[in-house]
Amino acid sequence: MDKVLRIYNTLTRTKMPFRPIHEGHVGMYVCGPTVYGDGHLGHARPAITFDVLYRYLMHLGYKVRYVRNITDVGHLEHDADDGEDKIAKKARLEQLEPMEVVQYYTLRYHKAMEALNVLPPSIEPHASGHIIEQIQFVQKILDNGYAYVSEGSVYFDVEKYSKDHKYGKLSGRNVDELLETTRELDGQSEKRRACDFALWKKAQPEHIMRWPSPWSDGFPGWHMECSAMGTKYLGEEFDIHGGGMDLVFPHHECEIAQSTAALGHETVHYWMHNNMITINGQKMGKSLGNFITLDEFFNGTHKLLTQAYSPMTIRFFILQAHYRSTVDFGNEALQASEKGLERISEAYSRLMALKPAATTTVDVAGLRERCEEAMLDDLNTPIVISHLFEAAKAINTVHDGKGTISEADLAELRDVFKVFVEDILGLRIGAADSSNDDAYRKAVDLLLNIRQQAKQNKDWATSDRIRNEMAEIGFKVKDTKDGFEWSL
Ligand code: ZN
């Protein structure tokens, strides 16, 4: 099979074959979280989407350098150019050092990602650790005449840039309209046009996070970090840049403009964006009371949740939709996913226990090719999952004694499950959890060995306590000639 991955490029609005710049190698950059709050569902989707892309590229044999940044300079979401820095504000309110806030939320984010079985990226650069690179990048844009200094801040000159290049190519925004409709209303602004965006902001006296620069003590504009860190670690041109659809404008549009203004050419070959998440049909937002953190999902503690959902259920649920479709979280849909995941998990465990026969009577031929084909078609994970459900049916037929499977087909099926369920979809379930089972069995054996020893030492208190309390949990322990047997 010709294994050419086809991906949808937001810039060209077409699905196109993926050809990396350097044969066998892929450079990929994904906008990571802003660490000033608990990880929420919105963080899970891009992380899982690009985790699957990362895993699949490696499966295809590419060596991947995956860069996912941490935005910790602290920019507002809606009002990136003005207003108070959120990390600084939080630090002031909680009397913390800003980097203490960053560290706290970064650790929590990592914990949630690990629970979701999201692989760590190759490099996870912090914006705050790349201020020098960002200042140099701003200077290049100034030198090339596409920015201006005003009151110690530096702004990108959208009007000037759009005379030489196309501003709005990624988002499809019309630059004339932008220039027209964003005229200043108050006349007080230091910007020439409202659509000009900050490359560097002079810090107000109360602003804690600040760095010296040729223009003022201040901090970089939000879009600058990804231009600077992406090109630092992946080169002036690299393969894939991803993120949530909400970042197309202004964040990624501004990144394209910045890179083109500084380097004279575009940086990214393929722009990829995952669609957004809604909760019971509504956009997620603090004011709507449906802002559910990942921890609340895992513990079931939010009032909108009727139960807890395991990280693997969340992961599976997200993968049951194509990454370019919207996903609506609701209890019923999540419960259906939980059951679906259980079905695959159970089939996987049964698959590992099946005994081969001389012939195969169930339909399992071509499963690997069908799964591969779905993945090559712009990472169509819902189709892969539907193929796995069909395979689960065949496995259950053999398990129930209503069909047979040959040794070769059994080995093939086990490998397809390992590759697609574990390696590519990244689901930690059933047989994939055997390392946990193994550790659990060893722990029970250890406990019972301690009981044996206690008996030999006539320490009846300890030996009785272990036996009684294990019985309460539900273990049946039987003493035998050579030691013990147990079951749950
Ligand atoms: Zn970014």
- Say how many C-beta atoms besides its own lie within 10 A of residue 192's C-beta: 15
Instruction: Locate the domains of the chain by residue range.
Output: 18-274, 278-432, 438-487
Q: Which residue has the higher pLDDT, 127 or 289?
A: 127
Q: Report how far ligand 1's centroid is from the alpha carbon of 473 (Å).
A: 50
Instruction: Give the pairing type, strands 6-9 and 14-17.
Output: antiparallel
Q: How far apart are CA 291 and CA 42, in angstroms?
A: 9
Q: Report how far ligand 1's centroid is from the alpha carbon of 119 (Å).
A: 19
> What is the per-residue DSSP string for 295-355?
HHHHHT-STT-SS---HHHHHHHHHTS-TTS-EEE-HHHHHHHHHHHHHHHHHHHHHHHPP
Q: Report how far ligand 1's centroid is from the alpha carbon of 257 (Å).
A: 13
Query: Length of the chain, please?
Result: 488
Q: Report how far ligand 1's centroid is from the alpha carbon of 224 (Å).
A: 8
pLDDT tier for residue 285 given thresholds of 50, 70 and 90:
confident
- pLDDT value at residue 183: 58
Q: Report how far ligand 1's centroid is from the alpha carbon of 455 (Å).
A: 63
Q: Taking all residues of the chain, what is their mean pLDDT, rounded to a whole number?
A: 90
Q: Report how far ligand 1's centroid is from the alpha carbon of 217 (Å).
A: 23
Q: Report how far ligand 1's centroid is from the alpha carbon of 31 (Å).
A: 4
Q: Report how far ligand 1's centroid is from the alpha carbon of 223 (Å).
A: 6
Q: Is the pLDDT of residue 321 over 60?
A: yes
Instruction: Give the mean model confidence (pLDDT) for residues 3-12.
Output: 96
- pLDDT value at residue 53: 98
Instruction: Give the pairing type, strands 238-244 and 268-274.
Output: parallel
One fold for 18-274 and 278-432? no
CA angle 376–377–381, rounded 5-degree value: 85
Non-local CB neighbours of 75 within 8 Å, separated by 6+ positions: 34, 85, 86, 221, 222
Do 391 and 370 form a contact (C-beta atoms < 8 A)?
no
- pLDDT value at residue 184: 53
| Closest C-alpha to 31, from 67, 80, 7 | 67
Q: Report how far ligand 1's centroid is from the alpha carbon of 44 (Å).
A: 16
- pLDDT value at residue 433: 54
- pLDDT value at residue 78: 35
Do 404 and 387 form a contact (C-beta atoms < 8 A)?
no
Instruction: Give the mean model confidence (pLDDT) for residues 9-23.
Output: 97
Q: Report how far ligand 1's centroid is from the alpha carbon of 201 (Å).
A: 18
Q: Report how far ligand 1's centroid is from the alpha carbon of 472 (Å).
A: 53
Q: Report how far ligand 1's centroid is from the alpha carbon of 46 (Å).
A: 12
- pLDDT value at residue 188: 64
- Say how many C-beta atoms besides its own lie within 10 A of residue 79's C-beta: 9
- pLDDT value at residue 487: 74
DSSP state of 134: H
Q: Report how far ligand 1's centroid is from the alpha carbon of 180 (Å).
A: 27
Share of the chain above pLDDT 90, in %: 72
Q: Report how far ligand 1's centroid is from the alpha carbon of 241 (Å).
A: 9
Q: Report how far ligand 1's centroid is from the alpha carbon of 68 (Å).
A: 9
pLDDT digits (tens, 9 = 90+) for 356-404: 999 999 999 999 999 999 999 999 999 999 999 999 999 999 999 999 9
Share of the chain above pLDDT 70, in %: 93
Q: Report how far ligand 1's centroid is from the alpha carbon of 163 (Å).
A: 25
Cβ-in-10-Å burial (0-12, 13-18, 19+) of 319 comes to: buried
- pLDDT value at residue 284: 82
Q: Report how far ligand 1's centroid is from the alpha carbon of 251 (Å).
A: 6
Q: Is the pLDDT of residue 228 over 80?
A: yes
Q: Report how far ligand 1's centroid is from the alpha carbon of 225 (Å).
A: 7
- pLDDT value at residue 438: 63
pLDDT digits (tens, 9 = 90+) for 161-216: 999 999 999 999 999 888 887 555 555 678 999 899 999 999 988 778 899 999 99
Q: Report how far ligand 1's centroid is from the alpha carbon of 343 (Å).
A: 38
Architecture (CATH level 2) of domain 278-432: Orthogonal Bundle (1.10)
Tokens linked to 459: 């320490």
Q: Report how far ligand 1's centroid is from the alpha carbon of 248 (Å).
A: 10
Q: Report how far ligand 1's centroid is from the alpha carbon of 306 (Å).
A: 35
Q: Report how far ligand 1's centroid is from the alpha carbon of 366 (Å).
A: 40
- pLDDT value at residue 431: 55
Q: Which of 255-269, 452-466, 467-481 is predicted with the least confidence, judged by mean pLDDT?
A: 467-481
- pLDDT value at residue 77: 40
Instruction: Give the mean model confidence (pLDDT) for residues 41-56.
Output: 95
Structural element, H or E, at residue 136: helix 131-143
Q: Report how far ligand 1's centroid is from the alpha carbon of 29 (Å).
A: 8
pLDDT tier for residue 79 given thresholds of 50, 70 and 90:
very low
Do 234 and 191 form a contact (C-beta atoms < 8 A)?
no
Q: How far apart are CA 273 and CA 92, in angstroms?
A: 35
Q: Report how far ligand 1's centroid is from the alpha carbon of 231 (Å).
A: 12
Q: How far apart are CA 245 and CA 324, in angstroms?
A: 9
Rounded to 5 degrees, φ, ψ at 51 are -65, -40
Q: Report how far ligand 1's centroid is from the alpha carbon of 32 (Å).
A: 7
Q: Is the pLDDT of residue 82 over 50?
A: no
Q: Report how far ligand 1's centroid is from the alpha carbon of 138 (Å).
A: 16
- pLDDT value at residue 137: 98
Give the CATH fold of the 18-274 domain. Rossmann fold (3.40.50)
Q: Report how far ligand 1's centroid is from the alpha carbon of 317 (Å).
A: 26
Q: Report how far ligand 1's centroid is from the alpha carbon of 318 (Å).
A: 22
- pLDDT value at residue 198: 95
- pLDDT value at residue 84: 61
Q: Which residue has the higher pLDDT, 38 or 259?
A: 259
pLDDT tier for residue 91 given thresholds of 50, 70 and 90:
confident
CA angle 204–207–208, rounded 5-degree value: 145
Q: Which residue has the higher pLDDT, 43 or 68?
A: 68
Q: Which amino acid is at 363?
A: D
Q: Report how far ligand 1's centroid is from the alpha carbon of 412 (Å).
A: 41
67 strand-pairing partners = 29, 123
Q: Report how far ligand 1's centroid is from the alpha carbon of 292 (Å).
A: 23
- pLDDT value at residue 430: 64
Q: Is the pLDDT of residue 319 over 50?
A: yes
| Closest C-alpha to 240, from 453, 65, 468, 40 | 65
Q: Is the pLDDT of residue 440 over 80?
A: no
Q: Report how far ligand 1's centroid is from the alpha carbon of 476 (Å).
A: 55
Q: Report how far ligand 1's centroid is from the alpha carbon of 226 (Å).
A: 5
- pLDDT value at residue 410: 97
Q: Report how far ligand 1's centroid is from the alpha carbon of 222 (Å).
A: 8
Instruction: Give the mean model confidence (pLDDT) for residues 403-416.
Output: 97
pLDDT tier for residue 87 given thresholds of 50, 70 and 90:
confident
Q: Report how far ligand 1's centroid is from the alpha carbon of 43 (Å).
A: 13
Q: Report how far ligand 1's centroid is from the alpha carbon of 244 (Å).
A: 10
